[in-house]
Amino acid sequence: MVKPPLPTSWLDTAERLCLVLASEAARYVAPLPIRLQDAAFVEVTDPANNLPSYEGTWRNPQGIRCGSLTLNSDGSYYAEYDVLTLHPEKPRWFVEAVTVWGRDGTVKAEPRLLAAV
C-alpha cells in the first residue's frame, strides 16, 4: 500500500510511471524493483499556483536516495531512478539514471548519460 499523502487520483499514473521506469532501466541492467509502495511521499506546494503537488523518494538499503517521483498540480510529472552502469552499446557512455516525464497520460522515457572518460 502507498504511504499517505499521495491521493488516490494519482495512483494509476504513479504506478504507470514506475512500470515505465523499470522497463527503461531493464534496457541497461538486471530488472530493478521500482515499486510505488517503496517510495515515501510528501505533499509540497507548487510555487506556480499554490496547489498541492507530491514528491516521492526511493532509498536503497543504506538509506541513500536512489530515485524520485514528482507529481505536479498541473498534471505534469517527472521521475528518475539511478542505474549506474556502462551503456551496453556505447562503451564511451555511462548510464547514470533513467528518467520519465510527461503530462496528462503522455509518458516519455530516456536514459541520463554521462561520458565515461
Please report the pLDDT score of residue 4 as a whole number: 54
Nearest to 86 by CA among 16, 28, 19: 28
Average pLDDT, the chain: 92
Q: Which grid coordinates are listed for 31?
A: 530488472
Three-class HEC string of 27-56: CCCCCCCCCHHHCEEEEEECCCCCCEEEEE
Q: Is the pTM of this model over 0.75?
A: yes
Answer whether residue 1 shows pLDDT above 60: no
Please report the pLDDT score of residue 116 as a whole number: 83
Dist CA 117 CA 105 (whole Å): 37
pLDDT tens sequence across 56-69: 999 999 999 999 99
